[in-house]
Amino acid sequence: MTFPAMRMRRLRRNESLRALVRETVLSPGDLIYPLFICPGKGVRSPVSSMPGVFNLSVDEAVCEAEEAAQLGIAGLLLFGLPESKDEQGTGAWEEKGIVQQALRALKQSPAAKKLVLIADVCLCEYTSHGHCGVVVKAGDGYDVDNDPTLELLARTAVSQAKAGADVVAPSDMMDGRVAAIRAALDAAGLAQTPILSYASKFASAFYGPFREAADSAPQFGDRRSYQMDGANLREAMREIELDLEEGADMILMKPAMPYLDVVHAARERFGVPMGAYQVSGEYSMLHAAFQKGWLDQNRAMLESLVGIRRAGADFIVTYFAKDAARLLRSA
Ligand code: PBG
């Protein structure tokens, strides 16, 4: 049947019809809200490159968590800004580390109990050089040394799970980290703690604003020797396959918008729960356009999120989580 018997516009005539035939649904329960935890009390310091995003002390993070829970958001992803940094990133795994403190406080909050608490496992926020692993001299330059880093990541994951993380999420892109973390969790009696692996993480310019928020910019060089080349789809599939073989329970794709084809390909190929991370640069560029009045804030925000769901992500890590949840609940 073709025109004029068939008219596609019939089902677009009003919102009830459009809602009936809508294929992709976005709800607050699909969203994960990232928080940046810093030392102190009553601290809420704005991140200049990310409007509406703050470095929060533990007490303020608890307030945010309560609000997020009320809005029906699924969970939080926690990053830490330690008191001090060193070559090994000690702040990542010490018992009194900043994320560990936040996890303990959040576990005490009745409202926050509804949230899935996810801890980002990486060293870059905690190392003085800002790389995601141990740095060694190599010839004239340096190398981020894979195998010695695994032990530190595993230690980090165990200490976060002990402090109350419901899920640990390695984002460092070292080879073999999922297996190392799984073995360490199991040995520590934490066999029930799932791993959300940032399986497919590209070396991206879109992490720029995050590095201000988390104070984690590399002091020399860049991350291209461990994060993936943005041109590679097949390599992304191999990374995911390997992480699943090593024991990842869920995978996280990142960034989202410039890599929606990768999200889609992963959805077609793997049956595991999958999230996508709408990263800092995606958020900030939209905000820059909102500030100029070039894009309608609410519509552009929801469209960007629905697109990620339609590509195949089950859940989305996004700095828009609270704004989007508010809007979805009022609709
Ligand atoms: C840590 C990490 C980064 C992001 C998440 N985990 C930064 C990086 O890899 O440089 C970026 C998230 C964002 O841009 O919102 N390795």
Backbone angles phi, psi at 92, to 5 degrees: -70, -35
Q: Separation of 55 CA from ligand 1 center, angstroms?
A: 15
> Domain limits of the chain?
25-330
Those residues whose C-beta lies under 8 Å from the C-beta of residue 140, and which sit 6 or more positions away, are none
Encoded tokens for 314: 């089950």
Q: Separation of 279 CA from ligand 1 center, angstroms?
A: 8
Q: Tens place of pLDDT for every residue, the chain, 331 residues?
A: 999 999 999 999 999 999 999 999 999 999 999 999 999 999 999 999 999 999 999 999 999 999 999 999 999 999 999 999 999 999 999 999 999 999 999 999 998 889 999 999 999 999 999 999 999 999 989 999 999 999 999 999 999 999 999 999 999 999 999 999 999 999 999 999 999 999 999 999 999 999 999 999 999 999 999 999 999 999 999 999 999 999 999 999 999 999 999 999 999 999 999 999 999 999 999 999 999 999 999 999 999 999 999 999 999 999 999 999 999 999 8
Q: Give CA–CA dist 72/27, Å, rounded.
A: 9
- Is 254 catalytic? The answer is yes
Q: What is the pLDDT of residue 111?
A: 83
Encoded tokens for 142: 């340096």
Which residue has the least CA distance to atom 8 on ligand 1? 207
Q: Give CA–CA dist 146/324, Å, rounded.
A: 38
**Cβ 210 under 6 angstroms from ligand 1:** yes
Encoded tokens for 278: 């709408």
The CATH code of domain 25-330 reads 3.20.20.70
Cis peptide before 255 (omega within 30 of 0): yes
**Cβ 295 under 6 angstroms from ligand 1:** no
Encoded tokens for 124: 């870059």
Backbone angles phi, psi at 141, to 5 degrees: -115, -135
Tell me which of 107, 162, 201, 322 is the catalytic residue: 201
**Among 40, 7, 268, 245, CA closest to 253:** 268
Rg (C-alpha) for the chain, rounded Å, is 20
Tell me which of 85, 254, 292, 322 is the catalytic residue: 254
Encoded tokens for 301: 């925000």
**Cβ 319 under 6 angstroms from ligand 1:** no
CA dihedral 55, 57, 60, 62 (to 10 degrees): 110
